[in-house]
Structure 1
Amino acid sequence: MTDITRRGALALGAGAAATLAGCGSKILTYDGPEITRVVVQKAERRMFLINGSTALRVVPVQLGFTAHGPKQFEGDGRTPEGRYHIDRRNPNSAFYLSVGIDYPNMRDRAFAASMGRRPGGDIFIHGWGDRKRDASHDWTAGCVAVTNDQMREVYAMVRNGTPVDIYA
């Protein structure tokens, strides 16, 4: 991960930005390199949009209001940790735009069931919506949040099926 972090500082920001286009719509088009993986580093509050081993975008993120530890149960305010995938898109999200993460997976459901609890669900990468936010505070119910402008790029760049690795 250190290599990706280092490369992220030298991300292809200017070149990749030139390939994003939109005519006033909140939905952008993207014709740059494929995003082969999304990595969220919770401790660093950073999300990396990666092609191969190169971070094309590094975006600051906000997390669940109880960010420490992996999501285990419905309502715990934590962001999941582990390997997931983008599994849906919502152009009409209450939080501007959003892409869904396939939490809970079988392991998450089994753990919650073993504790007699529900794992929760509806975990997304999404924008801030219409509210003003303090970028220094986590506030989601377990999602990964970025500014609306950043979410426009994320929405354009990632595809359904893209792996999402979320690390502590």
Structure 2
Amino acid sequence: MLKRAAILLSVGLALALGLEFSQFLRVTPALAAQNEQATRILIEKGARQLTLERDGQVLARYAVALGSDPIGQKQGEGDGRTPEGVYAVDFKHPRSRYHLALRISYPDRQARETALRAGVSPGGDIMIHGIRNGLGWLAGLHRNRDWTDGCIAVTNAEIREIWSRVPYGTRVEIRP
């Protein structure tokens, strides 16, 4: 019995490690043709929707999950809120714990000043990302509730599409 438990534990650990480290074998999507690239990402928190636009024309729409306490402006680190405002994609993280991730430029100066006055950290590393590595099989089920720490989550297939259509510096507007 003990031997069987040890074997099962070993197999489970090997699978878990394999899933976590398999991200190093991931091939990042190539950037789409210029006319298919977004010039703006609009995130509407109330509608739980992310829209990719190019010069005012809708390229694609995606349903999203948000921070665990999404209503209102982010006040500080750990509050579970997704920030509101105008930002930009400032980093593309190909080895994220959440499949692929696009970091937005939060906190801006105003958020840092507000947090400083309140005596808290503004937080950071707000991303548009896929599902946690190893849980991609959840696909759209992740949208049944808001679960991130303040990020915007889509499926792994969707983040691959978004990644290919969003160059560095793309404007990100997050509305209530």
TM score, norm. by length of structure 2: 0.79
- Between 1:122-131 and 1:103-112, the stretch displaced more is 122-131
1:77 equivalent in alignment to 2:80: yes
The structure richer in strand per residue is 1
Structure 1 residues 160 and 26: alpha-carbon distance in aligned structure 2, compared to 1, 3 A threshold? closer
| Structure 1 position 25, deviation (Å) | 4.1
Distance in structure 1 (CA, Å) of the matches to 2:159 and 2:167: 13
Distance in structure 2 (CA, Å) of the matches to 1:116 and 1:94: 30
Distance in structure 2 (CA, Å) of the matches to 1:153 and 1:70: 28
3-state SS, counterpart of residue 121 of structure 2: coil
Alignment correspondent of 2:162: 154
| Structure 1 position 26, deviation (Å) | 4.8
Alignment correspondent of 2:38: 35
User: Of the candidates 38, 59, 62, which is equivalent to residue 59 of structure 1?
Assistant: 62
What is the 5 A alignment of 1:1-168? 25-31=27-33, 32-129=35-132, 130-131=134-135, 132=138, 133-168=141-176
| Structure 1 position 34, deviation (Å) | 2.9
Structure 1 residues 128 and 121: alpha-carbon distance in aligned structure 2, compared to 1, 3 A threshold? same
2:38 is aligned with what amino acid? Answer: I
| Structure 1 position 28, deviation (Å) | 4.0
Distance in structure 2 (CA, Å) of the matches to 1:142 and 1:90: 17
| Structure 1 position 83, deviation (Å) | 0.3
Structure with max Cα Rg: 2
1:148 is aligned with what amino acid? Answer: N
3-state SS, counterpart of residue 72 of structure 1: coil
Distance in structure 2 (CA, Å) of the matches to 1:99 and 1:53: 21
Which consecutive unaligned segments of at least 5 residues does structure 1 have? 1-23
| Structure 1 position 141, deviation (Å) | 0.2
Aligned residue pairs, count: 145
1:63–1:79: 8 Å Cα contact kept in structure 2?
A: yes
RMSD of Structure 2 on Structure 1 (CA): 1.4
1:73–1:120: 8 Å Cα contact kept in structure 2?
A: yes
3-state SS, counterpart of residue 118 of structure 1: coil
3-state SS, counterpart of residue 91 of structure 2: strand
1:28–1:156: 8 Å Cα contact kept in structure 2?
A: yes
